Amino acid sequence: MRAAAKTSLDSFLRRRHGALTEDLVLRHGDFGLGKVPLRLKPDNTTNVVCGFCSTGCGLNVHLRNGQAINLTPTTDYPVNLGMACPKGWEALNPLAADDRATTPLLRYADGNLAPVDWDSAMQIFSLRFKTIQDKHGAASVAFLSSGQIVTEEMAFLGALAKFGMGMIHCDSNTRLCMATSAVAYKQSFGFDAPPYTYQDFEESDVLVFIGSNLCITHPTMWQRVLRNQNNPEIIVIDPRKTETAMAATQHYAIQPKSDLVLLYGLAKFLIERDWIDSPFVQEHTTEFEAFKEFLLRNGGGEANYSSPDQSEAPHVGAFDLENVSRVTGLSVAQLQRLAESIHEGKRVSFWWTMGVNQGHEATRTAQAIINLALMTGNIGRPGTGANSVTGQCNAMGSRLFSNTSALLGGRDFLKPGHREKVAELLQLDPRSVPAENSWAYDQIVEGIANARIKGLWIIGTNSSHSWINQSEFNRLAGKLDFLVVQDMYHTTETARLAHLVLPAAGWGEKEGTFINSERRIGLVKKVSKAPGEALSDFNIFKLVAHYWGCGETFKDWTSPEAVFQILKTLSRGQPCDFSGIEDYRMLDEAGGIQWPLPEGWAGQSPADRVTTPEADSANGAHRSDSPSPSRERRLFSDGVFYHPDGKARFLFETPRALPESPCDQFPFLLLTGRGTSAQWHTQTRTSKSDVLKRLYPEEIYVEINSSDAAVLKIQTNESVEISSRRGRITGRAFVTFAVQPGQIFIPMHYAATNQLTFPSFDPYSRQPAYKACAVAVAKIKLRNRTAHNRDRTHSPRIQAERKPHGSRNR
Amino acid sequence: MLETINPSEPTLIDKLLADQRELSAVTRFSRQHARQEIPAQAKYYRDLIPLSLPKKGEQYAFEVDLDKCSGCKACVTACHNLNGLAENETWRSVGSLHGGTAAEPVHKTVTTACHHCVDPACLNGCPVLAYEKDPVTGIVHHLDDQCIGCSYCVMKCPYEVPQYHKKKGIVRKCDMCSSRLLENEAPACVQSCPNEAIRITVVGKAQIATETTTRSQVVPGAPASNYTIPTTRYRTERELPANTQPADFTRLKPAAAHPPLVIMLVLTQLSVGMFCVAALGESLFDASGIEFQKLYSLAALSFGGLGLAASTLHLGRPLQAWRAFLGWRKSWLSREIIFFGVYFHLAAAQIATLWFPLPVPKSLLEASVVISGLIGVFCSVMVYVDTRRTLWSLRLSGAKFFGTTILLGVAASVALSLVLGNTVLNLLIAALIIISAAKLGWEAKCLTTGCRAGHSTAKKAKPLNANSEVATAKASGSTGDPPVPGGDSPPGTGETHELFCTSFSRTSVASVPSGQWPDGTGGSPVLPVPTSEFRLNADEATTWSAQQSARLQTGILRWATVARFVCGSLGGMIFPGALLALTHWAALEFVPGLSVGSFALCLAGELLERHLFFTTVVAPKMPGGLFE
């Protein structure tokens, strides 16, 4: 009785139930989800491939009445095993941002952008671009596109622009991330074909990461590294002590851009020790002898690719360990240990990302990695490979089907046979397929400078922020007669410059396929309504075709899936042949499918023979009646490459000095790169999520080594000024040992970063070298800040107080 | 050229817009596991949660493997999505630790949520008993519907765990996904970590409590564990060097200003002060006549009432505040509310006697008003002392709060007397000058001590070379091949430098070697005990914190500081001095204005002092991220 009274008094005084408590109640979500918030209980779920990076994680979108309300990573997707990084978890949030473009916007005479209807927008689009073409030639209108849109849209855009609108010069922001890998593979293997599957992370016994901060850039790939049961050596080669370097068993903090010399030095050492897989080299490669000669003699005259700048021929013994040690900053003992680790591994895999791709001699560096894999026979077997970890979610789709630098399906514009084939498949007049190559991104920008490009159509990229030496780009944008920007947001730095803004639907608001880093074709679905009158890029291209008057040419390009069928036809007979994929439904049910998968693939493709027991059982768990492609498929298990002779090539070249080395006036080397896993590129999307914003520094910051900070009297938190020959910015200092003396690091996500970067390009891939330029660092005194800002003409005040590093040719 | 464009043909646009609005995923792609109840992810997290409930004396705890954590921060977003939190609400956060040497830099990501403490400060401080520690699992639950949104738990928790939800007017916090755990589902953070770095373990409460010494902290840079006895364990096999510090170690950011609390504290103290002065100077006021007494007492009561009313503006759900007495056993806030409630009613009763004589001895009533008021002020002091923040120590808070009480009491008495044309003892004006001078002087001294502490510690701090070398040597075992310092390294990399110019000297032992860790589990070493070596000792931590407060006060908040001293000295010294002079020369026409001005400036000065009391406090916290 008393107890009951006490209980009822307690329940009167302490409210355990009510609306506020209810708000957080969890209930079974069904669909294998476990518990979910009661408020957000789905009535259905569907898997959508993530639209940020190239990992290509499966996201299980929780739906109510067909509309996405929440998401969790998909457990049974072969890529991510139920994991995602913060961007994936927050993928739906940026769709609801209030700065979405909801109607076309036209810049009026008063200089302001104002809404117009689609009909007017499309008429103006056609009229202005046609007028420019009439006056300056068809090639005076160009486009810059994105690795963030689906393959079907890329192909439509590329075909429409080149076969319908008469454009010649088209490129994409994939130039900023993957051009190097594409060119390197194409030259070495005969086709742009990253050979690996993510299972290789788990099967290696030695993993070598070069210029890759996988922990932060591709967290769910790192998961696979940690699942490796072979107690692997994890080797990281990176100037910075990155998160990945921290997690590694061996870290080699080389001087920036000394990677090519390092890799050649390792190759030479391996050859000298005869740690070479000679049978493999003999049987499956060419040019090894020339490479050996190049390394052993001097590396000067024997190169089978001549350097565009012959001024810097290395002296005899350039790749001796002593010299390599001098250039890289590593000790001879460290170099030996590194070489031994590679030699001792039974399954060695090499992985590279932007640290390699964004360099002034990037293609040769990537190929130096490929050379190491080839000469040690580490390719085609589980846990091996020279593996480029791609950047954007659909950079791989772009490489095959953007119709920019390569003709559709990885073909060549310069080859008449290729042009005819494409014309035949698409029922085009063969003359409508350009017989010349497109300019690369930097050449298009240069084209604006010399008035050969007068109209530009930018789709889903933020050049005004991301382009190297952005101030120059922003200056040149003013010279364009007509700039159209097609984007999800009307607030991007680039959209603010546009004459016409076309509102685009984003990831999750449209259908199509992405191809991830391991060549897996995955499906993107429409799970959310686009705001206002925003249209998918696909539908915008349909409109453009109609208004341009070439709708008839693209009458079969009715839907993304119809285009997917066209792409299958285009891929047939190519190394990337995926004509064996029936339709989207098959892709969806298989959890994505890696190319190649030719027709009649069942049991035929060599890739399907290399199947891990786990992958098999995973397959078995899914389907019992019909055959299904293996969930983990790698290339070259038969040692046959895509060159006509079936052999891979050793490619090499004399290393060159940094285009802009530190000097007295600009004594520091600026490294740029990814800041955190919660940030993506120019942050047009990741800045729209409150949760993601809590996970990265909102303000631009500069990592500087403790010894330099001591000399400059800079402490963490203080404002510093960074200047290069191109710009001057301020940021907050973070004093650390993670960057080496003489170097500073600034994440690429902040709008100011690329005011500093130096526009140099790899000669083969034309990829910008974001990773190194000369800068000066100065402390800003709080009280002097105003005065300081007025003083725009003063010379950089910090003189070299220490011998600069990073210039290996001194 | 333009014939092909047909502006009168809107159907394509309409068709495409309609197509865009159709959601196709469900109809086109069916899901295979439509009604699957068992979570698909269970196969990956099965080993990361305990198989059985804790036994008596045990509880659940988070365990974080710092070596496995790669810094991806998925745990934060997963917690947010899987718990359906508000857009800007997070229950888990991520910071980082940095240190080491040029040759062997070290940084670690530290993910943190509620530590489900053995002795939870949030629970102890809650005035309405909105917290419960589950008797079986040890999980610290928050009863959302019980919460009145006073945010005192936010101040009490040294780990920034309770999150105030402005729209709902309550705080909410991590409950270790207790409803998931109940059905053998892993908490959101555990499920979502790609590297299996977070798991739930069962720990012995007594063992945790015994292991927690005055020097314990869960990771370097975390608050002292002996306050709440947190249960989370951070493991690492790699030794953290002696100079390891949080990325936000030098962060200077003003804390929340809490204007309602500023007003409440100052006005209640003014009110109590006035009654105190009246009691002390009884003879003075008795001579002033009943009308003066009525007015004076009413003013004192009104100030108190205003203060108490202001305090409700601080509450997210003021209508539920009547429950605030519930926590009196442990919560100083509860006690403060009770005593000020009593005080207010007694004061009202005392005033009533001025009109309607009551059969209670007057002196007894007066004494009880003063005593309850002073206890109320003492409770106010303890509310802040109990948060264990340096700036809110008993000495500092006590001196400020009681200083304000007496100062404003005197200032108000002087002003009221002079305005009403009563004669006032010069003694009272002199007292005001002396009290003001003393309080301002003392505050200035505290400030300069804080500033000086910075200089002296910076000077005292010895270079970390020696310690760092120890760390390097020890770390080499587990990190493969550390670059050789000097020798082949480029110039500069072999040298060691301090990461922070204001480092403190530490014990030279970098860490306890592996294998000698006190948990004896044979797993990777747990940090709590060994990292006590890294902790600033109590004096150093206090000095650092005082220094940070002084930096805020002389930096970002310098104008508030200047205003505080200007108001204080004008109102408490210059104006009263002038009053003395004027009364001396009998220039009485300026007296009322000057006396009101004096009081207003004193009040403004104290409000500013209290504003700085809140904004310059350095709250203890887990290691934060870069420039959050």
- Does the beta-carbon distance from B490 to A706 stay under 8 Å? no
CA A361 – CA A654 distance, rounded (Å):
10
CA A590 – CA A153 distance, rounded (Å):
23
3-state secondary structure of A710: helix
What is residue A786's predicted lDDT score, i.e. its pLDDT?
42
What is residue A631's predicted lDDT score, i.e. its pLDDT?
81
Number of other CB atoms surrounding residue B258 within 10 Å: 19
Q: Tell me which residue has tokens 């959890």.
A: A591
Quick one: A127 exposed, middle or buried, by C-beta within 10 A (0-12, 13-18, 19+)? Answer: middle
pLDDT band, very low/low/confident/very high, at B517 (cuts 50, 70, 90): very low
Whether residue B196 lies within 8 A of chain A, CB to CB, comes out as yes
B345 Cβ contact list (under 8 Å, min separation 6): none
What is residue B241's predicted lDDT score, i.e. its pLDDT?
86
Query: Could you say which DSSP state residue B3 is in?
Result: G
- A6, A9, A20, A582: best mutation site toward chain B, by most B Cβ within 10 Å? A20
CA B513 – CA B511 distance, rounded (Å):
6
**Higher-confidence position of B539 and A809:** B539
What's chain B's average pLDDT?
83
Q: Dihedrals φ, ψ of B282, to 5°?
A: -55, -45
Helix axes B259-280, B591-615, angle to 10 degrees: 130
Of B103, B481, B229, the C-alpha closest to A336 is B481
Shortest CA gap A485–chain B (Å) = 19
Q: Which two tokens stand for residue B535?
A: 């902790």
Query: What DSSP assignment string belongs to B161-229?
Result: -SEEETTTTEEE---TTHHHHHTTPPPHHHHH-TT--EEEEEEEHHHHHHH--TT--SSTTSPPGGGT-
Contacts 24+ apart (CB under 8 A), B206-210: B206/B57, B208/B61, B208/B118, B209/B118, B209/B119
Q: Which two tokens stand for residue A761?
A: 């390009």
- Does the beta-carbon distance from B102 to A741 stay under 8 Å? yes
What is residue A754's predicted lDDT score, i.e. its pLDDT?
96
Q: Dihedrals φ, ψ of A72, to 5°?
A: -135, 150
Whether residue A665 lies within 8 A of chain B, CB to CB, comes out as no
B323 Cβ contact list (under 8 Å, min separation 6): A13, B127, B128, B129, B146, B148
Number of other CB atoms surrounding residue A613 within 10 Å: 7
Whether residue B100 lies within 8 A of chain A, CB to CB, comes out as yes
Q: Which of B72, B77, B183 sits opposite A215 (nearest CB)?
A: B72
Whether residue A218 lies within 8 A of chain B, CB to CB, comes out as no
Whether residue B319 lies within 8 A of chain A, CB to CB, comes out as no
Whether residue B239 lies within 8 A of chain A, CB to CB, comes out as no
Whether residue A692 lies within 8 A of chain B, CB to CB, comes out as yes
Spatial contact of B162 and A59, defined as CB atoms under 8 Å apart: no
Shortest CA gap A585–chain B (Å) = 7
**Cα atoms in the Cβ-side hemisphere of radius 13 Å centred on B471:** 27
- Does the beta-carbon distance from A694 to B100 stay under 8 Å? no
pLDDT at B469 over 50: no
Q: Tell me which residue has tokens 């207010």.
A: B344
Shortest CA gap B261–chain A (Å) = 25
Q: Which two tokens stand for residue A280?
A: 């493999």
- Measure the CA angle with vertex B112, ends B106 and B118; round to 5°: 120
- Does the beta-carbon distance from B144 to A216 stay under 8 Å? no
CA A735 – CA A705 distance, rounded (Å):
6
What is residue A604's predicted lDDT score, i.e. its pLDDT?
57
What is residue A614's predicted lDDT score, i.e. its pLDDT?
42
- Does the beta-carbon distance from A243 to B73 stay under 8 Å? no
What is residue B180's predicted lDDT score, i.e. its pLDDT?
96
B172 contacts in chain A (CB < 8 Å) = 24
Residues 164-203 of A with CB under 8 A from B: none
Q: Which of B5, B479, B489 sits opposite A123 (nearest CB)?
A: B5
Q: Which of B13, B147, B193 sits opposite A119 (nearest CB)?
A: B13
What is residue B422's predicted lDDT score, i.e. its pLDDT?
66
Of B544, B623, B621, B540, the C-alpha closest to B227 is B621
- Does the beta-carbon distance from B28 to A525 stay under 8 Å? yes
Residues 390-449 of B with CB under 8 A from A: none
Sign of CA dihedral B373, B378, B382, B384: positive
Shortest CA gap A556–chain B (Å) = 15
A533-549: per-residue pLDDT in tens?
999 999 999 999 999 99
Shortest CA gap A216–chain B (Å) = 6
Q: Which of B87, B105, B627 sits opposite A697 (nearest CB)?
A: B627
- Does the beta-carbon distance from A70 to B490 stay under 8 Å? no
Spatial contact of B120 and B228, defined as CB atoms under 8 Å apart: yes
Whether residue B359 lies within 8 A of chain A, CB to CB, comes out as no
Distance linking the first and last C-alpha atoms of chain B: 57
Q: Are strands A233-237 and A170-172 parallel, antiparallel or unpaired?
A: unpaired
pLDDT at B32 over 90: no
CA A628 – CA A608 distance, rounded (Å):
10
> What pTM does this model have?
0.90
B240-254: per-residue pLDDT in tens?
888 888 999 888 889
Out of A56-60, B6-10, B482-486, pick the least confident.
B482-486
CA A255 – CA A757 distance, rounded (Å):
18
Helix axes B591-615, B426-460, angle to 10 degrees: 30
The b-or-e profile of A496-532 (16+ CB within 10 A means b, else e) is ebbbbbbbbbbbbbbbbbbbbbbbbbbbbbbbbbbbe
pLDDT band, very low/low/confident/very high, at B282 (cuts 50, 70, 90): low
B383-402: per-residue pLDDT in tens?
999 999 989 999 999 999 99
Q: What percent of chain B has pLDDT over 90?
A: 61
Shortest CA gap B503–chain A (Å) = 12
Query: Could you say which DSSP state residue A53 is in?
Result: B
- A120, A322, A706: best mutation site toward chain B, by most B Cβ within 10 Å? A706
pLDDT band, very low/low/confident/very high, at B616 (cuts 50, 70, 90): very high
Q: Which two tokens stand for residue A794?
A: 């003063």
The b-or-e profile of B321-343 (16+ CB within 10 A means b, else e) is bebbbbbbeebbbbbbbbbbebb
A67 contacts in chain B (CB < 8 Å) = 23
- Give the chain B residue nearest A47 (alpha carbons): B31
What is residue A39's predicted lDDT score, i.e. its pLDDT?
94
- Does the beta-carbon distance from B80 to A742 stay under 8 Å? no
Spatial contact of A147 and A172, defined as CB atoms under 8 Å apart: yes
Residues 12-71 of A with CB under 8 A from B: 13-21, 23-26, 28, 30-37, 39-40, 44-46, 48, 61, 63, 65-67, 70-71
CA B113 – CA B452 distance, rounded (Å):
36
- Which residues of chain A fall short of a pLDDT of 50? 299-313, 606-625, 783-810
- Does the beta-carbon distance from A18 to B145 stay under 8 Å? yes
What is residue B34's predicted lDDT score, i.e. its pLDDT?
65
Residues 462-481 of B with CB under 8 A from A: 479-481
What is residue B102's predicted lDDT score, i.e. its pLDDT?
85
CA A592 – CA A580 distance, rounded (Å):
13
What is residue B383's predicted lDDT score, i.e. its pLDDT?
97
Quick one: B361 exposed, middle or buried, by C-beta within 10 A (0-12, 13-18, 19+)? Answer: exposed
Q: Which of B13, B80, B497 sits opposite A691 (nearest CB)?
A: B80
Shortest CA gap A639–chain B (Å) = 34
Residues 176-195 of B with CB under 8 A from A: 177, 179-180, 183, 185, 191-195
Which strands form A58-64's sheet, in the order they lie side by side?
A44-49, A58-64, A67-73
What is residue A748's predicted lDDT score, i.e. its pLDDT?
96
Whether residue B500 lies within 8 A of chain A, CB to CB, comes out as yes
A697 Cβ contact list (under 8 Å, min separation 6): A675, A732, B625, B626, B627, B628
Q: Which of A65, A691, A717 sits opposite B76 (nearest CB)?
A: A691
What is residue B567's predicted lDDT score, i.e. its pLDDT?
97
- Give the chain A residue nearest B3 (alpha carbons): A549
Of B249, B15, B332, B413, the C-alpha closest to A542 is B15
* Region of residue B487 (phi > 0: left; psi between -120 and 50: alpha; otherwise: beta): left
Quick one: A217 exposed, middle or buried, by C-beta within 10 A (0-12, 13-18, 19+)? Answer: buried
- Give the chain B residue nearest A689 (alpha carbons): B87
Whether residue A429 lies within 8 A of chain B, CB to CB, comes out as no
CA A349 – CA A232 distance, rounded (Å):
11
B589 Cβ contact list (under 8 Å, min separation 6): none
- Does the beta-carbon distance from B72 to A588 stay under 8 Å? no
- Does the beta-carbon distance from A71 to B194 stay under 8 Å? no
- Does the beta-carbon distance from B493 to A741 stay under 8 Å? yes
B233 Cβ contact list (under 8 Å, min separation 6): B61, B62, B63, B64, B201, B203, B218, B519, B526, B527, B528
Cis peptide before A596 (omega within 30 of 0): yes
Whether residue A701 lies within 8 A of chain B, CB to CB, comes out as yes
Shortest CA gap A657–chain B (Å) = 18
Q: How many CB pairs under 8 A join A and B?
A: 361
pLDDT at B583 over 90: no
- Give the chain B residue nearest A215 (alpha carbons): B70
- Does the beta-carbon distance from B490 to A542 stay under 8 Å? no
